[in-house]
Amino acid sequence: MENKKILITGGAGFIGSHAVKLFLEQGYQVTVFDNFFRGFHQVLETLKPLGDLQVVEGDLRNFDQIDQALCGQNFAGVLHFAALCLVNESMEQPELYFRNNVGGTLNLLEAMYKNGVKKLIFSSTCAVYGDSQYLPMDEKHPTNPLNPYGESKLIAEKMIKWYGELHGLRHAVMRYFNVCGAASDGLIGDSKKPSQLLMQNAVRGAMKIAPFSYTCPQVDTPDGTPIRDYIDVEDLVAAHLAAYERLDDDQVSGQVFNLSNGKGFSVKEIVSQVEKAFQVEIEKVPSEPRKGEYAEVFAIPAKAREKLSWQARKSLADSIESMRKWYTAHPQGWEN
């Protein structure tokens, strides 16, 4: 009988909680390991009626805590979302990112090895690429991070690769582009305060929940704002499910996958799309530009289509509508 017992680190966060939701809906037994530094207890309470969900409060920076969570539990695999992910913060406090994202991942890998857990899906980022040398980016694009966040994720990727080669860890690395949207049924969504995600902030601005400001620097693009590739969170976690269920395939294990729509939109274009959906003009307030940003990046997701039989299906309008549902029901997100 197939072992459908998995551990999800960072499952109380935005993307991790959507993975918890999907895996529960697919009949998996899910244990979430989270320190709740930036995650929310309420989202997991909301998801518990969907299936067999256990919660362990712990910190990956403490080896004994993740070792104890894995010990004797017979997990088939791990989805690793737990990380700090704010580019600007990483430029100001790089030590946080290396302790948490690198040190935490090393503790997880060693605890998995010690406890015989042989499958891992890793949440990485397009920030490992840095400035684009060619567009669209594929997985062979050179990696040259421009901020400690991207560097911390790249180091984690390399550690995972070595654990695969030396200890037989079956793994896949998922490099995200800009994540947007919420659960299409409005059940869960992004609660970061403030969010670093453009479309979420634009929707909140359109709904007059919070002031909206451009935090991007002036860059060399047609309208002077950064161009990014946007992917809906439900499409994103569907790729994780597809990869996890194919990890026994040598065409998937050990591979890196870009998860994207394959098209770039500027910051101003995204704001315009939100204004069109809400039929309002968003008031923009001045703000300091973020550090460590790059001008233009969008990807080709052909490898994920070929190896995972996956593709992004949701449009920008779909993502905006899901966030309208989420913020209508939870204008300030989760409370804790």
Q: Which residues are catalytic?
A: 149
220: number of Cβ within 10 Å: 8
Q: What share of the chain is helix, strand, coil (3-state, %, to 5)?
A: 40, 15, 45
Dihedral through CA 108, CA 77, CA 179, CA 93, nearest 10?
Answer: 0
The two structure tokens encoding residue 253: 């294990």
Rounded to an integer, what distance in angstroms lies between the CA atom of residue 54 and that of residue 89?
31
With left for phi above 0 and alpha for psi between -120 and 50, is residue 172 left, alpha or beta?
Answer: beta
300 closest CA partner among 229, 222, 220, 246: 229
Tell me the backbone φ, ψ of residue 267, rounded to 5 degrees.
-55, -45
Tell me the backbone φ, ψ of residue 328, rounded to 5 degrees.
-65, -45
SS3 92: helix
Rounded to an integer, what distance in angstroms lies between the CA atom of residue 57 and that of residue 34?
5
76 closest CA partner among 23, 11, 155: 23
Q: What is the DSSP letter of 282?
A: P
